Amino acid sequence: MSSTFAPGAKTEEDNLLVKSPEKLAELESYIDSLPLSENPDRNRGFLIQSLHKAQEIFTYLPGCVQQYVADKLKLHRSEVYGVISFYSFFTDQPVGRHKINVCTGTACFVRGANKILDEFKRYLNIKEGETTPDGKFSLGALRCVGACSLAPVVMLNDKVYGNVTTKMVPEIINDCED
Amino acid sequence: MTINSAEALKEHVAKLKSAAAPETKILVSMGTCGIAAGTTPVLEAINKYIEEKNLQNAFEVVEVGCMGLCHSEPSIEVINTVSGNSIIYGDVSEVQVQAIIDAGADEIARGTKTVERTWYYPEKEENTTNAIQAKVVLKNSGRINPEVLDDYLVNDGYGALAKALCEMKPQEVVDEIIASGLRGRGGGGFPTGKKWQFAAAQKTDEKFMICNADEGDPGAFMDRAVLEGDPHSVLEAMAIGGYAVGAHTGVIYIRAEYPLAIKRLRIAIEQAEKAGLLGKNIFGSGFDFNIELKYGAGAFVCGEETALIHSIEGMRGEPTFKPPFPAVQGLWKKPTIVNNVETYANIGAIIRKGANWFKTIGTAGSPGTKVFALAGKINKVGLVEVPMGTKLKDMIYTLGDGIVDGKKFKAVQTGGPSGGCITASMIETEIDYESLKALGSMMGSGGMIVMDEDDCMVNVAKFFLEFTLDESCGKCTPCRIGNKRLFEMLEEICDGRGTMETLDKLKSLSMTIKDTALCGLGQTSPNPVLSTIKNFEDEYLAHINEQRCPAGVCTSLISYQINDKCVGCTLCARNCPVNCISGEKKQLHEIDQSKCIKCGVCFQACKFHAIDKI
Amino acid sequence: MINLTINNMPVQVTEGATILEAANKLGIKIPTLCHTRLDCFNVEHRSGSCRICVVEVQGRPNLAPSCCTPAMEGMIVKTNSIRAINARRTMLDLLLSDHPKDCLTCEKNLNCQLQALAHELDLHHVLYKGEQSTYNKDLSSRSIVRDLDKCIMCRRCETACNTVQTVGVLSGVKRGFEAVVAPADLRPLSESQCVFCGQCVLACPVGALTEMSYKYDVWKAINDETKTVVVQTAPAVRIAIGEEFDMEPGSIATGKMVTALKMMGFDKVFDTDFAADLTIMEETTELIERVTKNENLPILTSCCPGWVKFLEHQFPELIYMPSSAKSPQQMFGAITKSFYAEKMGLKREDIIVVSVMPCLAKKYEASREEFSTDGNPDVDIVISTRELADMIKEAGIIFDRLEDSQYDSPLGESTGAAVIFGATGGVLEAALRTAADWIAQKDIKEIDFEAVRGLEGIKEATVNVAGIELKAAVCSGLGNARALLERIQRGEAQYHAIEIMACPGGCLNGGGQPYIHGDTTILEKRLKAIYQDDQNATIRKSHENPSIKALYEEYLGKPGSHKAHELLHTGYTPRKCW
Ligand SMILES: Cc1cc2nc3c(=O)[nH]c(=O)nc-3n(C[C@H](O)[C@H](O)[C@H](O)COP(=O)(O)O)c2cc1C
Ligand code: SF4
Ligand code: SF4
Ligand code: SF4
Ligand code: SF4
Ligand code: SF4
Ligand code: SF4
Ligand code: SF4
Ligand code: SF4
Ligand code: FES
Ligand code: FES
Ligand code: FES
């Protein structure tokens, strides 16, 4: 175990690989199932799907997980970070237990998505891309989930709320038990 | 079951056709919007009722992909397979299910809303109705169960692949596509056949077919509908393309935001492999073709083909300059075809019916159909597929049923953040690649966002630039810094700080960015600015010279004030999110302007028109 | 051949040539910023990202970046149309709108390509204003300062670090206006596997990457009456420093440099070349021992701290391979603070050793823990060639008018074998000269091992050293080193000895050398100068250096002795790749 434990886990919280051997095993078996050896020059092509998997398992991508993926695919850690920081889907920060995403795509925009987003910001007292101090909610904006007919649209975790009004904001928040 | 020859396919289809089926079919729309709007409980109710009443032999329930009727989801269609009668119900609720099933396909159930069918299928029938829509790309979507291979096969599925592999030489396939005049539906409109020809001419050991399913343009969801509703059509077309250009690997790059489409593609690939329709020696022709899925991770620029290729290669999605074009040097430096989902969805029909048939649809320069996603302030939001050359007016007023709440139509944005707006005066335009370009917009992927009198066009331009800023890869100077400056200038104007000099700078910087940016994103990002300045200059001038936002949107330039119609009902005060309205019951209320966040809640709440937006 | 017209003049170029190259052929300079090429190493950075080089091509809807647009048959190009000129100025204007414009106090003042461009394009007014990106300055390392507020996103450093050196510290991070180049997690360089070769500093056209400066510390030391301040100058400094004073590249300025150092007030002006000779004594002893015993082969040179750190991070399993001999800089420090201190009756704390190096990694090397005793480092301060030049200028010394002076004795005496340390292949050649004599036990006259000279990245030679066939390889640039080491790991290549230098071309192209701005002919001239200096030397073999002989006789005993090991050898530590 310790040989696969990647360096760079600076804080206790960051040290996910050590704390969750079963999660690591899941990631490992996923990456090992990829046809990596067929053409090692093309291993890099598996990076993004490996990161998707890793984020699915760990909910975010702390340094040590990035390092682990980098080592497995024989990439530099900086390249992995470069990729993670490029794609808005990936995050290296812990996320809230409930993810609220307000669609700010064009259709939702013309139907007042910004007001909805502002209301969430005000209500949760956090900015876009942040998580409430209690770790319960993260607030984000995304661009079109393809449900434009229901604009404005809010996604709470995997659930789509359509035709949202500012009034519904507290209701949506109250829908989250934990 | 494996289908290892063209004959085997024919036999299999014949068997499927002759198999006994219940007389009545109920199609339930199970696309993303349908599900979001609540089709799942309706489906459950239908199944439950059929089971309860033991009607399994009379009714077949088919979970289909998108029918394009977003405005009326949950929607279902009841079809009598013998008489051909069909009824489409919209806004179906669980309680209506019994009545609908009881009524069958020949009679409209009471207490329901029906939706008129506006489309025809040019591959099957003449345009007998006066329907505006022609379904080529979406011919199966909303009609078959996308998760059942036989449903696809029985509708000519994989027939085109069989024809190409067994009856045509690769060059003949390329020639047919060239002859059809099919142009890329991903935005640029580049002739697909020509692109294939380039790749076919390359002599290398390896080539790739990529399907661009990134669909990052917000407000566009046609590719999603195809993938959710008819995934096999894309697989089949990729294999045909692979055969034509000499590629044996296909890659579908799909955005991670489309989980349902991903799921259905996975199922489809697995089914096709199992049936021998993908893999080694397809139809005994000796041609091998495999397809893998790669996922996006939230970057609009990855729709650009070179960025997409980098993303598949596991890198940051930064575009590179062309030439070399991907058809010459693409994925892993090998010749690569990148085509859009909708482009692929046309291929099967062209091979089956021929280039000449295809050219009978649409205009001379842009043959075929185009799928548009109507969204925004329009009554019938949804997907429509119309022959190229259809008038904008027909789309907005006939198919889209006009503007919400009877407001005034102001503009429609086509081409998303890369496009421009078309105004009321251009409503007679017959839409195709050339005409849109001439209007300073572009086809783009086919999103149409309709805006009404309440939309401030300066603010709309600012919105699009904000999008571009967020999505710029940051590689080149004009887009990384130039768009930031454009955005800041628009902010100034929206805040009432703009001057005529700002407007001049806005225009000239926009032109330079278009002229110098590295990729399509930057080259088109100033389009919304330029086109709103061109068409709505008066709005800009009102912001600049009068510090006034004519549409009443820009918050710095508006305020809410209570007039003497106020009866003191306190409703506004109770609704104000920041509690800045004071006043005794039955007394004139007052807004503390220093605290008001201009959310407009009070304005909407007041039933006495006692609040003015100034 | 392709025919095209640029600014009304016909020109013919080979297929694949860019518009930029075609224009150059006509004597037209198109300004560039992100584009760069190092011809002698076959490196080209063509990101096409700055858009400064745009030109108008007839029939093309938008402007074309000339650095990456291939010339096409019949093309009609205008490089100076008003449209192109305006676009170019707008690009510059935009870059400056997101730039601190601190030229007066900037490390790269007068060496900056952005500044030069503003001058060239005659820009006197910045039209666009707005938010500027701000980052924390990275002052974490001994070697390199990163001030990303000045970064223009040309990505040249990435090519240097990732493609050429394959160290892989730097990557583009984030996107859009926030995009910048940084190590993973935006960490400081000191926490990365950066080897401080400084190739990125050479690549950076602006002041975003510069060296950590110790000029003031040197002035302070010189002015400290209680200290004896000793300076050593590395082999590659003398053949490059003249460039800073507009002398012809390739001028050998040893004498003037020594004069300048004396004028500046150093108590003793010594030569790292002396320590280079010493290195050869120790390393050759080890080489011969390993070859005769046929164990632990190949032996790798260890005088380049950039390369050593690279090995520690990226090939920890091979750390038994390098020679245990310290680098010349550190040998010099160790001998100065022991032998020389004793000789002069000084305590080590009383002596301050200043190094003038072509190198930024040497700054880091001097700070490695194993190179100090009780917290007192063997080498106290390291400055680069550029810093020395700055100090000379600051002191008001008119360099090119100086008379020559001689190094002080005894640590100033050296041989031709030492001076070639400054070029790739030099260390190996110097070792071979000594090895040949020692194995044959006679004074061999054929000492020019031409096969290991030159700027190519990997050179191989089988040399007959007094009857023994030695398979040797020389490699410069860490990308080449990686390729070679991987071949060795896979068992595809076998050598007795390998010289590795981190910088492409060796120290003559070190991270601390005067900027060449892409003109690689300068490197070729430096190379020539080094071998010229070797030819000019009366003694050309390290073991014949009389001061070295005396040092062994008086103090160290024999090469490889216990005392020599204590002072002149070291060990290596595996490090994490992060
Ligand atoms: C910023 C940008 C985003 C794009 N996004 C998409 C997209 O989401 N889907 C798509 O098919 N094409 C997109 N394109 C166009 C592609 O680069 C490419 O031209 C297209 O996939 C080619 O397919 P086609 O010839 O079938 O249209 C985009 C282009 C740019 C510049
Ligand atoms: S135009 Fe924008 S998205 Fe395209 S390469 Fe330049 S910075 Fe990236
Ligand atoms: S606009 Fe919003 S914040 Fe202002 S008074 Fe009305 S409700 Fe309150
Ligand atoms: S809602 Fe209208 S009428 Fe009622 S208190 Fe407010 S302003 Fe007055
Ligand atoms: S980097 Fe160049 S332009 Fe910028 S402040 Fe320094 S010298 Fe001036
Ligand atoms: S050029 Fe201008 S800013 Fe620079 S030193 Fe001279 S006067 Fe001052
Ligand atoms: S000094 Fe060398 S290793 Fe460090 S970042 Fe620069 S190029 Fe890379
Ligand atoms: S740090 Fe220097 S070399 Fe690197 S991208 Fe920025 S400006 Fe270019
Ligand atoms: S090659 Fe020379 S200049 Fe470069 S890092 Fe090594 S010692 Fe320093
Ligand atoms: S714009 Fe919000 S779902 Fe499409
Ligand atoms: S119902 Fe299919 S996309 Fe909306
Ligand atoms: S020099 Fe050509 S784009 Fe930068």
What would the pLDDT profile of C317-346 be if each residue is shown by its tens digit? 999 999 999 999 999 999 999 999 999 999
Whether residue A158 sits in one domain with residue A122: yes
Which residue of chain B has the CA closest to C69? B323
Does ligand 8 come within 6 angstroms of the Cβ of C204? yes
State yes or no: pLDDT of A6 exceeds 60: no
C373 and C394 housed in the same domain: yes
CATH number reported for the structural domain that contains residue C138 in this entry: 3.30.70.20
- Looking at every residue in chain A, the average pLDDT score rounds to 86
Task: Give chain A positions within 8 Å (CB) of B455.
Answer: 110
If phi over 0 gives left and psi between -120 and 50 gives alpha, with beta otherwise, what is residue B382? left
- C237 and C370 belong to one structural domain: yes
For residues C436 and C420, the answer to whether their CB atoms sit within 8 Å is no
B534 or B437: which leads in pLDDT:
B534
Whether A72 and A108 map to the same domain: the answer is no
Angstroms from A62 CA to nearest CA on chain B: 17
Question: pLDDT-derived band of residue B492, with 50, 70 and 90 as boundaries?
Answer: very high
Answer whether residue C359 shows pLDDT above 60: yes
Evaluate if residue B569 carries a pLDDT over 70.
yes
Query: Quick one: pLDDT at residue A21?
Result: 86
Q: Of B127-131, B259-263, B565-569, C27-31, which gets the smallest average pLDDT?
A: B127-131
Exposure string over A56-92, b if 16+ CB within 10 A, otherwise e: ebbbbbbbbbbbbbbebbebbbbbbbbbbbbbbbbbb
Looking at the partner chain, which of A48, A118, A146 has a beta carbon nearest the beta carbon of B295? A48
Q: What is the mean pLDDT of residues C251-255?
A: 96
In what helix (H) or strand (E) does residue C181 lie, and over which residues does it extend?
A: strand C180-182
DSSP-derived 3-state class of residue B290: strand
Span B315-340, pLDDT tens digits:
999 999 999 999 999 999 999 999 99
pLDDT at site A178: 67
pLDDT confidence band for C578 (50 / 70 / 90) = low
- Is residue B427 predicted with pLDDT exceeding 60? yes
Q: Are residues A123 and A156 in the same domain?
A: yes
Host domain of residue C142: 129-211
Domain endpoint, select from C96, C117, C139:
C96
CA of B191 to the centre of ligand 1 (A): 13
Mutation to test the C interface, candidates B316, B475, B492, B506, most C Cβ within 10 Å: B475
Question: Cα–Cα distance between C251 and C36 in angstroms, integer?
Answer: 25
Residue A64 and residue A30 share a domain: yes
Task: Show which of residues 2-41 on chain A sit within 8 Å of chain B, judged by CB atoms.
Answer: none
Which chains does chain A touch, 3 or more C-beta pairs < 8 A? B, C
Q: Is the pLDDT score of A9 beyond 70?
A: no
Residue A4 located in a structural domain: no
- Asked if the model's pLDDT at residue B439 lies above 90, the reply is no
What mean pLDDT is predicted for residues B406-410?
A: 92
Interface of C with A in 156-175 (CB under 8 A): 162, 168-175
Shortest CA gap A9–chain B (Å)? 24
> Does C43 share its domain with C181?
no
Q: Looking at beta carbons, which residues of chain C come within 8 Å of A81?
A: 171, 173, 184-185
Answer yes or no: is the C-beta of C239 below 6 A from any ligand 7 atom: no
CATH number of the domain where residue C377 is located: 3.40.50.1780
* Mean pLDDT value across residues C504-528: 96
* Residues C171, A63: C-beta atoms closer than 8 Å: no
How far is it, in rounded angstroms, from Cα C417 to Cα C444? Answer: 14
- Rounded distance between C-alpha atoms, residue B46 and residue B40, angstroms: 10
Give the model's pLDDT for residue B20. 86
Q: In the predicted model, what is the mean pLDDT of chain C?
A: 95
Positions of C marked active-site: 283, 286, 303, 323, 362, 365, 370, 507
Cα–Cα distance for residue pair C355/C332, rounded to 1 Å: 9
Judge if the beta carbon of residue B596 lies within 6 A of ligand 3. yes
Residue C578 or B298, more confident: B298
| Complex ipTM tops 0.85 | yes
Residue A4, pLDDT score: 39
Q: Are residues C187 and C221 in the same domain?
A: no
Where among C78, C96, C114 does a domain terminate?
C96
Q: Are the beta carbons of C120 and C91 closer than 8 angstroms? A: no
Name the strand (E) or helix (H) holding B382.
strand B382-387
Q: How confident is the model at residue B129 (pLDDT cuts 50, 70, 90)?
A: low
Domain range for residue A160? Answer: 98-174
3-state SS assignment for residue C318: helix
CA of B602 to the centre of ligand 3 (A): 6
pLDDT value at residue A2: 35
pLDDT digit string, tens, across residues C424-445: 999 999 999 999 999 989 998 8
Among C96, C113, C139, residue at a domain's last position: C96
Same domain? A76 vs A108:
no
- Cβ contact (<8 Å) for B518 and C49? yes
| Residues C299 and C273 both lie in one domain | yes
* C184 to A63: CB separation less than 8 angstroms, yes or no: yes
Q: How confident is the model at residue A13 (pLDDT cuts 50, 70, 90)?
A: low
Q: Which of A111-115, B95-99, C544-548 has the lowest mean pLDDT?
A: A111-115
Number of domains in chain C: 3
Q: Where are the domains of chain B?
A: 19-117, 149-358, 369-452, 457-545, 559-613
The CATH number of the structural domain formed by B369-452 is 3.10.20.600
Report CB contact under 8 Å: B480, C179.
Answer: yes
Can you tell me the distance from the alpha carbon of B510 to that of B223, in angstroms, rounded to the nearest whole number?
A: 30
CATH of the domain at A156: 3.40.30.10
Q: Which of chain A's residues have a Cβ under 8 Å away from the Cβ of B221? A: 144, 146-148
Ligand 4 pocket, mutate which of B560, B561, B562, B591 (most atoms under 8 A from CB) = B562
Whether residue A57 is found in the same domain as residue A105: no
For chain A, the domain total comes to 2
In a domain, C107, yes or no: no
Contact A79 C172 (CB under 8 A): no
Model confidence pLDDT, tens digit, residues B582-605? 999 999 999 999 999 888 889 988
- The closest CB to that of A81, out of C184, C576, C577, belongs to C184
Confidence check: pLDDT of B126 > 70: no
What pLDDT does residue A1 have?
31
pLDDT at B83: 87
Question: What topology is assigned to B559-613 in CATH?
Answer: Alpha-Beta Plaits (3.30.70)
Q: Where are the extended beta strands (E) located within B257-354?
A: 279-282, 287-295, 336-340
C128-147 confidence digits (pLDDT tens) = 999 999 999 999 999 999 99
Is residue C468 within 8 Å of C437, Cβ to Cβ? no
Cα gap B528→B189, rounded to integer Å: 19
C363 lines ligand 12 (CB under 6 A): no
Which of B251-255, B430-434, C511-515 is least confident?
B430-434
Q: Is A138 exposed, middle or buried (0-12, 13-18, 19+ CB in 10 A)?
A: buried
| Pocket flag, ligand 1, residue B325 (CB < 6 Å) | no
Domain B19-117: give its CATH superfamily: Glutaredoxin (3.40.30.10)
Alpha carbons within 13 angstroms on the beta-carbon side of residue B160 total 30
Contacts of B572 (CB under 8 A, 6+ apart): B562, B581, B589, B601, B602, B605, B606, B611
> What is the per-residue pLDDT across C527-547, written as a single tens digit (0 to 9) for each?
999 999 999 999 999 999 999
pLDDT above 50 for C496? yes
The answer as to whether A127 is a domain residue is yes
A5 lies in some domain: no
Pick C172's closest partner by Cβ from B299, B316, B488.
Answer: B316
Residue A7 lies in a domain: no
Q: Which position has the higher pLDDT, B126 or C261?
A: C261
Ligand 12: atom nearest CA of C35 is 1
Q: Is C479 on the interface with A (CB under 8 A)?
A: no
Residue B458 in tokens: 């300066």
Residues of chain C with Cβ-Cβ distance to A92 below 8 Å are 185
Which helix H or strand E contains B14, and what residues bound it? Answer: helix B6-18
Q: Find where tokens 């596997």 sit.
A: C193
The residues facing B370 across adjacent strands are: B386
pLDDT over threshold 70, residue A3: no
- Cβ atoms within 10 A of the Cβ of C11, count? 23
A41-81 confidence digits (pLDDT tens): 899 999 999 999 999 999 999 988 999 999 999 999 999 99
C204 and C328 fall within a common domain: no
Do C14 and C149 sit in the same domain of this protein?
Answer: no
CATH class of the structural domain B149-358: alpha beta
Q: Are residues A82 and A102 in the same domain?
A: no
For the domain that residue C17 is a member of, what is the CATH number?
3.10.20.740
Residues A21 and A78 grouped into a single domain: yes
Query: What share of chain C has pLDDT > 90, as a percent?
Result: 93
- Residues of A with a Cβ under 8 Å from any C Cβ are 7-8, 63, 66-67, 76-82, 85-86, 92
CATH class of B457-545: mainly alpha
pLDDT at A162: 86
Whether residues C173 and A81 touch (CB distance < 8 A) is answered with yes
- In a shared domain, residues C204 and C232: no
The CA distance from B66 to B142, in Å, is 5
If asked whether residues C334 and C359 sit together in one domain, one would say yes
